[in-house]
Amino acid sequence: MRSLLVLALLAQVTVIPRANPPTSAKDYPIRAVPLTSVRITDGFWGPKREINRTVTIPHIMQQNELTGRIDNFLKAAKKKPGPYQGQRYNDTDVYKVIEAASWSLASRPDPVLDKKVDELIGIVAAAQEPDGYLYTPRSVDPASPAPGAGPERWSWLHTSHELYDQGHMIEAAVAHYSATGKRTFLDVATKSADLMVKVFGPDKRRDVPGHEEVELALVKLYRVTGQQKYLDLAKFFLDERGQKHSVEHPQFEQGNRFFMYNDLAYRQDQAPVAQQTSAVGHAVRATYLYSAMTDIATMVGDGLDKVVDTLFDDVTEKKMYVTGGLGAEGRTEAFGAEYALPNRAYAETCASIGGMLWYQRMFLRDAKTSRYDALERTLYNGYLSGVSLSGDRFFYQNPLVSDGRVERSTYFDVACCPANLARLMAELPGLIYAQDDKTVYVNLFIGSEANLVVNGVKVKLTQTTDYPWSGDVTLRVDPERPVEVSFEIRIPEWTRNPTQSALYRFAQPAAERPAVAVSGKAVPLEPNATSAIVDGKWRKGDVVTLKLPMPVRRVLANDKVTEDAGKAAIQRGPILYALEAVDNGGSLKDVKIPPDTTLTSTFKPDLLGGVQVVTGKVGDRTVTAVPYYAWNNRGKGEMAVWIPY
Ligand SMILES: [Zn+2]
C-alpha cells in the first residue's frame, strides 16, 4: 500500500514507469527519495548540474563519436564497414552517457537531448544479435574479436568485460525507462539479461566477471521488472566469487596487464564474498562489488550482513584519502595496505563514484550517518575534482599533491571516468533525502524542493542554504494537512572533535556547537549528536533551522599514515583545501603553516566560480588555499593538500 501511495504521488510529479514492485524478497528498510521527486534549486550544485547538461554530456557524446565508440555499434549492425576500434569496454562509455542524459531528462525536459538519446538507443539496439547478445568488440568481427575479448562468447570473462558491458547497458536502460517511461532500451536490456540467465547458473556456465558491475545492474533490473530471475542471477555471480575458476588466459597485452588479470585479489576473486573482510584489489571493481553485496545482504540475507559493515569500516577507517578518494596503488588501480595512503595517490574518479553509490546503500540499511559522512567527504572533494569548472576536462586520477605536471584531459583512451561523473551529477537529487513510513532523513544540504508522502500525507519540503560555504540550513515543511513526521537531520562528522574516524582528526576542538531550532525555538542537541531528530505534528509553513558552525580547521592524519606525518590539511565545512602555486608566489617549496597560524576565510565571488578562500600570515608571507575540487583550473602548477607545519 505504501509503495502504491508513493507511486501515485510520483505520477503527478513526472512521468514514472509502472514498476512491478517486487514482493518475494526483503528490501531496504529505508528508501531513497527518488530523483524524480526532488528538484535542486541550489546555488552551488544548480549551476554545476546545468554545465553537466549543457557541456559535459554533449562533450562526451561528441568524443564517443570522434573516437569510434559509436561507429563500433554501427559496424556491429553492419551499417558501416571496418574493424572494431579501441578498448574492449568502450561500449560502456556510450551506455553511461545515455544513463547520464536520461537522469538529466528526469530533472529537466530537453527535447534535443531526448531525441539524441533515442537516436543512440536505436544505434545500440541495432547492434544486438538476435538472441540478445550485445558486445560490439566481438560482433563487429566474430572471427577476430578485439584484443582481450576471448575467442568465443563468455570465454575470457576475467578480461573481456563482456558482463561489465552488459551491466552498464542495463543500468542505462533502467535509467532511461525510469526517466522517460519509454521501453525501447529496457526491452534491449531484458533481452540481453534473458540470454545471461540462459547461459549462467548453478547448473550452467559457472564463472565470474573480471570487472564487477553486472551484479548491481541485475538488482536494478529486478526492481523495475519484478522478475526474480534477475535477482537470482545477481546472487549467483556473487556466490561464484572465490570458487577458483580457471584464471589462465593467453597473454594479449604486454606488461602489467597480464599480471593483473591472473591476480585473483585484483578482481576480488580470492575468496568467497562472505569471507572478504578486507578491501583489496582494483578499487572501482571493489566498490561495485560491495554495492551488490549490500543489495544482496539486504534483500536476500545470506550471511553477508556483517561483511559489508566490516568492509565499510576497513575502507573508511584505513584506506580512504581525506578527499574521499579510494585506491593508493597506481599500477593496479587498487587499494593499498592499511594506512598506506601516499599523496601521489591514484584515487580514480570512478572509485569515488562507486564508493558513494555503495555508502548510500549502506545508509538505507541502517540509517547510520557515518555512511553519509563518507559520501559527503567524497562528493565535495575527491569526486568533484574529477571535472573542470568548464565541464569538459577530466581527471582520471585525483592526486593530493602535484609537482606541476598533472592536468585534466578532454577525454581518455580508457574513458570510464567522464561519463561516470556525468551520471552521478545527474543522479544527485536522489542522494539528498531518504524516508520510511514516519521518518524523513535529511542527508545532504543542497537547496531543493522535495515532494514526499509521509504517514499517508503529501508533504512538500523546501531546503534553502548556501552550503558548502555557509552552514545555515532552513527546511520549510508544507504538509497538505497536519501530519506526524520525524525528521532526522544528519549532523556532519566535521562539526565534531574527536571525530568518529580513526583516520582523520581535527587539531583543535570545535569552539562552537551545531544548533537546531523549530520555528525559532531551540531544540536541545546532545554533544556529539550524529543527527538532530525533530518530531511532532507539522503544519504548513513550519520551519526547521540548522546552524553548522564552519570555522577553518586543521586536519591531522592517523600517525600510521607516514606520508602525512608532520603535516596538516585544511578543512572548512565539508570542503578540503589545497595550496596551488599560482596563489602562493609561483612555488610551494618551503611553504609551512605552523600550528599557531591564524587561518581565516573570505568568499571570493569572482574566483573559480565563487569560492571561499582560506588565507593565513606566515612570517611576511601570506599563504592562500582554495577548495581542492577547484584546483588545476588556472593552468598547470604545483599543488598540495597536506602542508608541513
Ligand atoms: Zn574511471
CA of 415 to the centre of ligand 1 (A): 7
Distance 207 CA to ligand 1 centre (A): 24
State the Cα–Cα distance between residues 643 and 588, nearest whole angstrom.
Answer: 9
Q: How far is the CA of 417 from the centre of ligand 1 (A)?
A: 4
Which are the contacts of 62, defined by CB distance < 8 A and separation ≥ 6? none
- Summary mean pLDDT of the chain: 93
Mean predicted confidence (pLDDT) in 125-145: 98
349 alpha carbon – ligand 1 mean position (Å): 6
pLDDT tens figures, 160-219: 999 999 999 999 999 999 999 999 999 999 999 999 999 999 999 999 999 999 999 999
**104 CA to middle of ligand 1, Å?**
20
Q: What is the pLDDT of residue 18?
A: 39
- How many angstroms is it from 466 CA to the middle of ligand 1? 30
Here the cell at position 416 is 570510464
Task: Say how many Å lie between the CA of residue 379 and the centre of ligand 1.
Answer: 15
For the segment 231-253, the average pLDDT, to the nearest whole number, is 82
**Cβ atoms < 10 Å from Cβ of 515:** 16
- 411 C-alpha vs ligand 1 centroid, how far in Å? 11
Strands, E assignment, 253-347? none
- Based on its alpha-carbon atoms, the radius of gyration of the chain, rounded to whole angstroms, reads 24
User: What's the gap in Å between 329 CA and the centre of ligand 1?
Assistant: 14
615 CA distance to ligand 1 middle (Å): 33
- In angstroms, what is the span from residue 186 Cα to ligand 1's centroid? 25
pLDDT digits (tens, 9 = 90+) for 596-641: 999 999 999 999 999 999 999 999 999 999 999 999 999 999 999 9
pLDDT at 262: 74
Backbone angles phi, psi at 582, to 5 degrees: -60, -30
CA distance 34 to 431: 8
* pLDDT tens digits, 323-353: 999 999 888 899 999 999 999 999 999 999 9
In the reported structure, the alpha carbon of residue 412 is separated from the centroid of ligand 1 by a whole-number distance in angstroms of 10
Nearest alpha-carbon partner for 448 in 459, 435, 430, 461: 461
Q: Tell me the CA–centroid distance for residue 348 and ligand 1, in Å.
A: 6
Q: 524 CA to middle of ligand 1, Å?
A: 44
CA of 419 to the centre of ligand 1 (A): 9
Burial 250-281 (b: 16+ CB within 10 A, else e): eebeeeeeeebbebbbbbbbbbebbebebbbb
Residues with CB under 5 Å of ion ligand 1 are: 348, 350, 416-417
Q: How far is the CA of 145 from the centre of ligand 1 (A)?
A: 24
What is the residue whose three cell numbers read 538529466? 104
Residue 627, classified by CB atoms within 10 Å of its CB into exposed (0-12), middle (13-18) or buried (19+), is: buried
CA atoms within 13 A on the CB side of 417: 29
User: What is the 253 CA–ligand 1 centroid distance (Å)?
Assistant: 20
Tell how far the Cα of 537 is from the centroid of ligand 1, in angstroms. 46
401's enclosing H/E stretch is: strand 401-403
State how far the Cα of 594 lies from the Cα of 592, in Å rounded to an integer: 6
Tell me the CA–centroid distance for residue 512 and ligand 1, in Å.
39
Give the pLDDT of residue 511: 86
Band of residue 11 on the pLDDT scale cut at 50, 70, 90: very low
pTM recorded for the entire structure: 0.95
How far apart CA 231 and CA 220 sit, in angstroms, is 9
Q: If we measure between CA atoms, which residue out of 503, 493, 497, 562 comes closest to residue 319?
A: 503
